[in-house]
Amino acid sequence: MSTALDTLDRMTQALTACGQGQLAQSDMIRQWRSGAASLPLPNPFGEVLGNLLDRIEASALFSEESCSFSQQDLMASLQLWADKARARLTAL
């Protein structure tokens, strides 16, 4: 299980780096998509994550926060997803 947790750690590090402007959003999304595919989580986790990542990609089309796509809220949702995934992985 430590391999899955290591993958999740790398994903959250990429999220932090992206939030600090040290990693391009497209690179962070790529890392999250590939990392999540290797995590032993139930299908709903993948569906939720896919929707979040799709919305983050769409939000990049807007130069400012919009009522539909708040990047800050979406990034916070990714962190929440990671927290729930960690809880699920440690419970296995």
> Taking each helix axis from N to C terminus, what angle separates 2-19 and 25-37, rounded to the nearest 10 degrees?
170
Total domains present in the chain: 1
Q: Which domain, by its residues, includes 26?
A: 2-91
| pLDDT at site 4 | 95
Mean pLDDT of the chain: 90
Give the mean model confidence (pLDDT) for residues 63-90: 84
| pLDDT at site 43 | 95
Quick: pLDDT tens for 25-70: 999 999 999 999 999 999 999 999 999 999 998 877 765 555 566 7
Is residue 14 a contact partner of residue 27, using CB atoms and an 8 Å limit?
yes
Q: Concatenate the DSSP letters of all residues of 74-88 into one string.
A: HHHHHHHHHHHHHHH
| pLDDT at site 32 | 97
**CA-to-CA distance for 91 and 1, rounded, in angstroms?**
10
